Amino acid sequence: MALGCLAGAGHIEERPARAAAQAPDAPPCAARLRGGPRDFGPRDHHHLGRARVVEMIQDVRRTLIRRYGHADPDRLGSGERRAAITVPVHFHAISSGSAGRLPRATVERQIGAMNAAYGGRAGGADTGVRFRLDSFTVVDNPAWFRGPQQHERQMKQALRRGGRGTLNLYSAAVGAAVLGFSTFPQAYSAMPVLDGVVVDYRSLPGGTYRNYNRGHTAVHEIGHWLGLFHTFENGCQAPGDGVADTPYQRTATNNCPVGKDTCPEPGMDAVHNFMDYSWDVCMREFTAGQGRAIRAAWAAYRA
């Protein structure tokens, strides 16, 4: 069901509001938490550990050098740096009768939330990523709907479409403590059938999960699919999340605090960043450095 806990890549689970403590080198296939419908844990209960993050960052660099002769995504030819990356999306709404049967309008609002976030219209940097809804299907399968983690391989083998640059986005009853899960781009070559993002259907715009119903669970999970780590990755220890313009951050953010600063290094915690665990209303930005990291991972693994 997971990506075999691959070294340097793997499966990431997301999105609770309270981050649980975990050993620094815990495997990427972390156990799920359980909670009530409004008693959320972290957005994802998943921490890679410093050694794994370093290896994944180094793998991006090695892959870019092998493919392009250098590791600078800003030096790619033919204007790729300035042109937007357009990601085709196949949206699979898994349902159980009427439960989870999303209308197309809700899915279009989700795509709109993704484009606003990644295009900088929510207040942050424009990452250069755009999303295009290519297909939307509703699949009535109660087992998949209520157990998308347990039935992940079967579900994705049946439904997944496209190649390495295509986003397959699934909605189902993922849960309250874990609102979604994703794969990293480094894992695609080993297990392409599992590539994609799964989110709880109640986290889409207008959903019933209070404080988590503006579509930012998908925005956050897609960040991992595009190669980003949490802003609090590795705490105050280098390399953090591997992005120069996101300050070091010791802990994940709960709710929407003001003036949170958990590391002695310069910079306040990025509580408004889409790769933290804040409430949806609090999230509004990616940084220019995160956009650059996305372009590097895209050129390495998905272009």
Please give the positions annotated as active site.
Answer: 221
> In sequence order, what are the residues at sequence separation of 6 or more whose Cβ sits closer than 8 angstroms to the Cβ of residue 64?
70, 71, 72, 73, 296, 299, 300
**182-to-5, 45, 95, 135, 255 alpha-carbon distances in Å:** 13, 12, 19, 20, 22
d(CA 293, CA 100): 34
β-strand 180-183 against 167-172: which pairing, if any?
unpaired
Cα dist. 70→65, 80, 102, 188, 243 in Å?
4, 15, 44, 22, 18
CB 282 within 8 A of CB 274: no
Query: Largest alpha-carbon pair distance within the chain?
Result: 52
- Closest C-alpha to 165, from 150, 185, 183: 185
Q: Which residues does 105 contact at the CB level (< 8 Å), separation at least 6? A: none
Cα–Cα distance between 232 and 198 in angstroms, integer? 22
Beta bridge partners of 114: none
